[in-house]
Each structure stands twice: as structure tokens, then as C-alpha cells.
């Protein structure tokens, strides 16, 4: 279980308290610049926040950095500009976790990366880059998976791969947290939704989803429910 208590960071995050259970998907939505990504980075321990964040009761600040990765991992919004290949990137990841070459090969084939495994990473398309980093997360196999705007600019095929990834993480009892403005994607895949507005957390409690979205984004939203799924216009 991931728990945050009174987390603040500079004047971007203000006293956020939050928790997420194993085997659940939590969506975090909010306007651009509201502090969503910063909150995600704080949750991972990457930023020097004030307050307390704990994983299964252990204070993250007290966990050595080399052990944190197996607890929490992260799909970034921006990828490194590197000439190294996906194979190199997965190998570098594997070398730290003492993961064998065979496992890396298995991941490469299960993410359909064989064709592009030895091409420079910077020459790959956005969707291919996402696939490489999803493979990286799966290789590390952390308890908590943080996804930062994962579905932005993805075509339907990669979005489906992403959906399958999230579902699989959920089945494996991971805690998944998605930060996204892609409401159609986030609302339908998440068990819970929270909003961030000007660095403060807004919970959905008591309001229906449409009111909640309108409160977070301060704009009229048209929501339709078809076959248990929400569609937003």
C-alpha cells in the first residue's frame, strides 16, 4: 500500500494526503500545471518533498535508493535522447537488478521489440519508446507502477498494449497510479479518480463523476455512459 501524508513541495504541492491499495488503479487528473507530474515524482521519492510517503508502512526517505526501484517504478513523460538501443537500455536496467540475459530476451519478444532492439532509441517512434519503457518496468517488476501521461499521442494499437499492461499489473496485485489528461482512457481504466487543483488534492467523494470532472477542470463537460464505459466530449 502506498500512503502519502501532508506532502508538500516548494509551492507546487500543498499538504497532499493520499493512499492507494494493492491491486487497484488510481487515476490522477487535473489541469496542465496543476502539479500532477510533480506529485507523481514526489510519490517515487525522486523529489525532496516535505511530509511522509510510505510503502507498506516503510518511510520512503529511509529506504536506500538502490532498493526503491524494486518498490516503485515510473514511466516518464519525456524519454532520454540517446543513441543507445532498446537492447542496451534494458541491459543497463538488468545489470543493476542482476537480471539474466534470457529474461531480457523474453521481455524483448513479448513486447514485440525484436525488430527494433538494435536501433538507436532516439530514432524510434513515440509508441515504440513507450513500449521499451513498459518493458523496462516489467523487467524490474516493482510493487508500485507510476505512469505519467502514458496515453498521450498514442495510436489505438499502442493504447491497447498499454491497457493490457495496466490490467496485467492490476492482476499481479500491483498498485498502479496514472497521471493523465486523457479522460476517456483514465476514467475507464481506474478504480478511483482523484483530482489535483493548484497543488491541492480534490477527492470525488459525494459527487458524481460529471460534477467531479467539472469541479476539477472548471468547465462544462458532456459525459455519456455506453456499455459501462464513459465517453467524454
Partner 1 sequence: MYRRTVLGFLVTGIVSICYLLIGNPSSEIIRIIRSPEFLLTFSAGSILAVSGVIFQNVLSNPLADPYILGISAGSGLGAVIGFYFGKDPHIFSLLTGIITVFLLLLMAKFLNSKLKLLLFGVGLNTLFSSLIVFLIAFGKIENFPSILFFLMGFIPIISLKKAVFFLFLSLILLFILLPFSKKVDALALGDSFAYFTGINPEKERIVLIFITSVFIAFTISQTGIIGFVGIVIPHIGRFLKILRTKKLLLFSFFAGGNALLIAKSILKFGFPTTDIPVGTVTALIGAPIFIGVLVRSKRFA
Give whichever of 59 and 155 is closer to partner 1, judged by the CB atom.
Answer: 59
Residues 187, 183: Cα–Cα separation, whole Å: 6
How many residues lie near partner 1 (CB under 8 A)?
A: 25
Is residue 65 part of the contact set for partner 1 (CB under 8 A)? Answer: yes
Give whichever of 35 and 94 is closer to partner 1, judged by the CB atom.
Answer: 94
Is residue 230 part of the contact set for partner 1 (CB under 8 A)? Answer: no
Contacting partner 1 within 158-217 (CB under 8 A): none
User: What sign for the dihedral angle of Cα 10, 41, 122, 159?
Assistant: negative
Per-residue binding letters, 125-164, with partner 1 (x by CB under 8 A): ---------------x------------------------
Length of the chain: 233
Is residue 23 part of the contact set for partner 1 (CB under 8 A)? Answer: no
Q: Count H helices and E strands in the chain, helices first.
A: 8, 12
The grid cell for 58 is 516503510
The least CB distance from residue 219 to partner 1, in Å, is: 32
Q: Which stretch binds partner 1 (CB under 8 A): 21-29, 78-86, 181-189, 224-232?
A: 78-86
- What are the C-alpha distances in Å from 139 to residues 99, 100, 166, 207, 208? 8, 10, 15, 39, 38
Residues 159, 154: Cα–Cα separation, whole Å: 6
Given candidates 97, 164, 215, 225, which one binds partner 1 under the rule CB under 8 A? 97
Is residue 37 part of the contact set for partner 1 (CB under 8 A)? Answer: no
CB 32 within 8 A of CB 216: no
Closest CA to 136 of 173, 162, 177, 104: 104
The least CB distance from residue 99 to partner 1, in Å, is: 11
The least CB distance from residue 121 to partner 1, in Å, is: 9
Q: Which helix (H) or strand (E) holds 105?
A: helix 101-110
Q: Which helix (H) or strand (E) holds 193?
A: strand 192-197
Q: Which stretch binds partner 1 (CB under 8 A): 19-27, 85-93, 192-200, 201-209?
A: 85-93
Residue 77 DSSP SS3:
coil
The least CB distance from residue 102 to partner 1, in Å, is: 19
CB 59 within 8 A of CB 208: no
Q: Which residues are at the interface with partner 1 (CB under 8 A)? A: 41, 44, 46, 65-70, 73-74, 76, 80, 82-84, 88-89, 92-93, 95-97, 122, 140
Amino acid at each position: 500500500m502506498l500512503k502519502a501524508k501532508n506532502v508538500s513541495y516548494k509551492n507546487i504541492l500543498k499538504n497532499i494526503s493520499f493512499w492507494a491499495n494493492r491491486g487497484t488503479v488510481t487515476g490522477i487528473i487535473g489541469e496542465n500545471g496543476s502539479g500532477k507530474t510533480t506529485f507523481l515524482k514526489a510519490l517515487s521519492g525522486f523529489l525532496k518533498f516535505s511530509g511522509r510517503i510510505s510503502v507498506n508502512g516503510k518511510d520512503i526517505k529511509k529506504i536506500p535508493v538502490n532498493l526503491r526501484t524494486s518498490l516503485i517504478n515510473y514511466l516518464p513523460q519525456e524519454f532520454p535522447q540517446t543513441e543507445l538501443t532498446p537492447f542496451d537500455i534494458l541491459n543497463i536496467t538488468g545489470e543493476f537488478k542482476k537480471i539474466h540475459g534470457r529474461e531480457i530476451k523474453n521481455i524483448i519478444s513479448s513486447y514485440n521489440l525484436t525488430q527494433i532492439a538494435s536501433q538507436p532509441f532516439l530514432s524510434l517512434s513515440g509508441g515504440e519508446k513507450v513500449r521499451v519503457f513498459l518493458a523496462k518496468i516489467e523487467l524490474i517488476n516493482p510493487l508500485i507502477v507510476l505512469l505519467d501521461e502514458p496515453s498521450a499521442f498514442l495510436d489505438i494499437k499502442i493504447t491497447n498494449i498499454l491497457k493490457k499492461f495496466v490490467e496485467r499489473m492490476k492482476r499481479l496485485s500491483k498498485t498502479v497510479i496514472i497521471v493523465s489528461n486523457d479522460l476517456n482512457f483514465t476514467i475507464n481504466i481506474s478504480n478511483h479518480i482523484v483530482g489535483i487543483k493548484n497543488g491541492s488534492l480534490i477527492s470525488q467523494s459525494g459527487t458524481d463523476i460529471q460534477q467531479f470532472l467539472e469541479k476539477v477542470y472548471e468547465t462544462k463537460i458532456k459525459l455519456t455512459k455506453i456499455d459501462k464505459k464513459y465517453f467524454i466530449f
